[in-house]
């Protein structure tokens, strides 16, 4: 049911990323191309990893895209789950849980200290699903993000350099 993504999966991963963005009411922000995903997942220096959920007949029905993070407090890596998506008509079949279980297995096997992700506050079905697995919100933290003009402005200010 769950397997590591292969280069041939990039088109279907890309399609599901766009489906997820549409569900999250942010399709206009989904700018990644298939080529960018291929490079991130399978290029010379992969920056991300993906797992695929398949139905019994071999149809790709979901995916998890993740990357490593690092906890200075714990002194070990963790997994940050960027996207978890199961196509609506296939939800309830255990694919999402199986994808998360695979990432948890990787964490345990490799000695990683955390499996983390973000969920939109309005996404009650996903929140209920995650909490049913024992996940708990980290509501004492607020996510901040720099993008577009603000990122360019800050990155261009004094060259973004620090002295060593």
pLDDT tens track for 60-72: 999 999 999 999 9
- CA dist., res. 148 & res. 130, Å (int): 31
pTM: 0.90
Tell me the per-residue pLDDT of 104-155, one tens digit each, with 9 for 90 and over.
999 999 999 999 999 999 999 999 999 999 999 998 988 898 988 999 999 9
- CA dist., res. 54 & res. 86, Å (int): 10
The number of helices, as runs of H, and strands, as runs of E, in the chain is: 5, 5
Orientation angle between helical segments 34-42 and 10-23, nearest 10 degrees: 120
Question: Which range, of 6-10, 98-102, 123-127, 155-159, averages the lowest pLDDT?
Answer: 155-159
The residues near 31 (Cβ < 8 Å, ≥ 6 apart) are none
- CA dist., res. 121 & res. 118, Å (int): 9
Give me the active site residues, please. Answer: 130
Question: Which range, of 26-30, 50-54, 63-67, 159-163, averages the lowest pLDDT?
Answer: 159-163
**By C-alpha distance, which of 36, 53, 38 is closest to 7?**
38
């Amino acid at each position: 049911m769950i397997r590591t993504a292969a280069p041939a999966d990039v088109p279907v991963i890309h399609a599901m990323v766009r489906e997820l963005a549409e569900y999250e009411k942010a399709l206009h922000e989904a700018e990644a191309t298939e080529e960018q995903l291929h490079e991130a997942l399978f290029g010379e220096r992969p920056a991300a990893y993906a797992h695929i959920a398949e139905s019994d007949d071999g149809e790709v029905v979901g995916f998890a895209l993740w990357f490593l993070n690092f906890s200075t407090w714990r002194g070990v890596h963790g997994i940050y789950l960027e996207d978890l998506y199961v196509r609506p008509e296939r939800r309830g079949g255990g694919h999402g849980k199986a994808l998360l279980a695979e990432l948890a297995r990787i964490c345990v096997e490799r000695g990683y200290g955390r499996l983390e992700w973000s969920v939109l506050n309005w996404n009650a079905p996903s929140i209920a699903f995650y909490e049913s697995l024992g996940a708990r919100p980290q509501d004492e933290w607020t996510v901040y993000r720099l993008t577009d003009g603000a990122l360019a402005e800050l990155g261009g200010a004094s060259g973004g350099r620090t002295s060593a």
